[in-house]
Amino acid sequence: MFVDEARVYLEAGRGGDGAVAFRREKFVPKGGPAGGDGGRGGDVVFVVDSGLSTLMDFRHQRHFRAESGRSGEGSDRYGRQGADLVVRVPPGTRVLDEDGHLLADLVKPEERRVLARGGRGGRGNSHFASASHRAPRVAERGEPGESRWVVLELTLLADVGLLGFPNAGKSTLISRMSAARPKIADYPFTTLVPNLGVVERYGDPFVMADVPGLIEGAADGAGLGHDFLRQLSRTRVLVHLLDLSPDTTRDPVADYHAIRRELALYSDALSDRPELVVANKVDLPAARARMADVENRLGQPVISLSALTGEGLDALGWRLAEHLATAPPAEAPPPPPTVAPPVAGVTVERLAADPGEVGPAAYAVGGDVLPRSAMTRWGSLEAEQYFMEYLRRRGVVDLLRRAGIQEGDRVHVGDGILVWFEGGLAREGWPEQLEERNLRRRRRSQRIQQENAAGESNRAGEDGKAAQPGSEATGHRPDGRHV
């Protein structure tokens, strides 16, 4: 089965996590941090395989994921890099994103293109050591790899394209001029998929493509017009085949102008390609009698042939060889697309609250701080403190203050949630934890004060007893006898 379009999901490997570790060796006191970095994630790479001619394999497998990097380990051991995922595609494959933007045009054999790049590995805690913080317990997570849905379109790489209305004899013609063996029958739309054939008898070999029959409205998607017209986009010369058979009720001149309109509507470049007009089935007497009328109405010379008997095939072959010698080369693929770097800077936006919702406001921080947020170990006290200090240095605190943030408002930064507390950023839940800690401190202080007061009271009572004559404190019994 010929499949010329597919939609697939690509996901590069995630970077490995950095490690938190310390040196623990004999005779090496206070060895310091020794956590290694994580390995980089694998890329998704498309490679042109000249042995493939269809996108059939992508109908059964639609998800392609590269290997993730391994996490770092102690003793400064770095994680292994993830292996790249190689996806083989036939020549002429165009890769577009979901918005229709061209990402790659793969034509040459063994041409390679990276469509999804793997994420960076996270740094281990050895990178966070400083003179003031010699034993950090913080490391980065691996960066997520790129992921996207893409559309694959296959366009045939042919020098000559045969076009015409259904049942004009295109399949018979390509079978007589090349070794191609398409299905041939006496009913319209016998050819459902394009066929390729190599013509070798007329000088330098060239490739001829038999495109299924077009109908009016093909440029607007009627029938399978877009799919068929796309297969002509890389051809250098067009052969317009007219059916002169008396059995058909169609007017060959009207058919010619109808297809020319469809070509112009689909692409100006396609309608400007050099073309040869060929009248087929002249082995029939009635068809040969119509030749002069067709030439007069078209106002241009028409090549007569019979694909069934072989009459006129050599004349057509040599004319095609002459046209190909002077025709411009096929449209060169565009240069590799350049991925624009992320815009430097930070954005702060207040999120709209749901109607009737009562509570603290929410703000979203975006920009080039998001990759750093994705690599932060949320839930780790030291990691979040490092990230909040990074946001302060980037001026996020000042931007939030200018945006009118209030005490208790939430701040979303990627997957993390922070809170505005006492004029700065704090980790989520910190105000409640601080309040609970202060409450415990107050209770402990009150308990200590009560214990001290009770102790003072007991000492005061004991001192009062000691002042009474004849008490046990004097060493005498109440009756005056010595104890």
pLDDT tens by residue, 398-425: 888 888 888 888 889 888 888 888 888 8
- Spatial distance between the Cα atoms of 47 and 457, rounded to a whole number of angstroms: 89
Q: Tell me, yes or no, whether 124 and 193 share the same domain.
A: no
Asked if residue 340 belongs to a domain, the reply is: no
Asked if residue 386 belongs to a domain, the reply is: yes
Q: How is the beta sheet containing 85-89 ordered, strand by strand?
A: 85-89, 44-48, 112-116
- Mean pLDDT calculated for residue range 266-283: 80
Asked if residue 370 belongs to a domain, the reply is: yes
Q: Tell me, yes or no, whether 249 and 295 share the same domain.
A: yes
The token pair that represents 382 in the structure block: 């030291």
User: pLDDT tens digit string along 329-353?
Assistant: 666 555 555 555 555 678 888 888 7
The number of distinct structural domains making up the chain is 4
Q: How is the beta sheet containing 275-280 ordered, strand by strand?
A: 195-199, 206-210, 160-163, 237-243, 275-280, 303-304
Task: Give the residue carrying structure tokens 């790049």.
Answer: 117
Asked if residue 480 belongs to a domain, the reply is: no
Task: Give the residue carrying structure tokens 């060889």.
Answer: 321
Q: Name the most confidently modeled range: 192-206, 252-266, 362-376.
A: 362-376
Q: What is the DSSP string of 231-299?
A: TTTT-SEEEEEEE--TT--S-HHHHHHHHHHHHHHH-HHHHTS-EEEEEE-TTSHHHHHTHHHHHHHHT
Q: Tell me, yes or no, whether 112 and 3 share the same domain.
A: yes
Asked if residue 56 belongs to a domain, the reply is: yes
**Looking at residue 372, which CATH number applies to its domain?**
3.30.300.350
The token pair that represents 286 in the structure block: 């009635």
The token pair that represents 166 in the structure block: 């259904």
- Spatial distance between the Cα atoms of 221 and 82, rounded to a whole number of angstroms: 43
Q: Output the pLDDT for position 19.
A: 92
- Phi/psi for 265 (5° steps) reads -70, -35
* pTM of the model as a whole: 0.68
Q: Tell me, yes or no, whether 122 and 191 share the same domain.
A: no
Q: Tell me, yes or no, whether 177 and 274 share the same domain.
A: yes
- Mean pLDDT calculated for residue range 237-249: 81
Residue range of the domain that includes 14? 1-154
Terminal CA-CA length for the chain:
118
Task: Give the residue carrying structure tokens 């050591």.
Answer: 129
Lowest-pLDDT range of 53-62, 190-199, 235-244, 263-272 = 190-199
Of 157 and 477, the one with more pLDDT:
157
Let me know if 475 is exposed, middle or buried by CB neighbors in 10 A (0-12, 13-18, 19+). exposed
Burial pattern 77-108, b for ≥16 Cβ within 10 A else e, equals bbbbbbebbebebbbbbbbbeeeeeebbbbbe
The token pair that represents 17 in the structure block: 């996590």
Asked if residue 483 belongs to a domain, the reply is: no
Give the 3-state secondary structure of residue 197. strand
User: pLDDT tens digit string along 69-122?
Assistant: 999 998 889 999 999 999 999 888 889 888 888 888 888 888 899 999 999 999
Q: Output the pLDDT for position 481.
A: 47
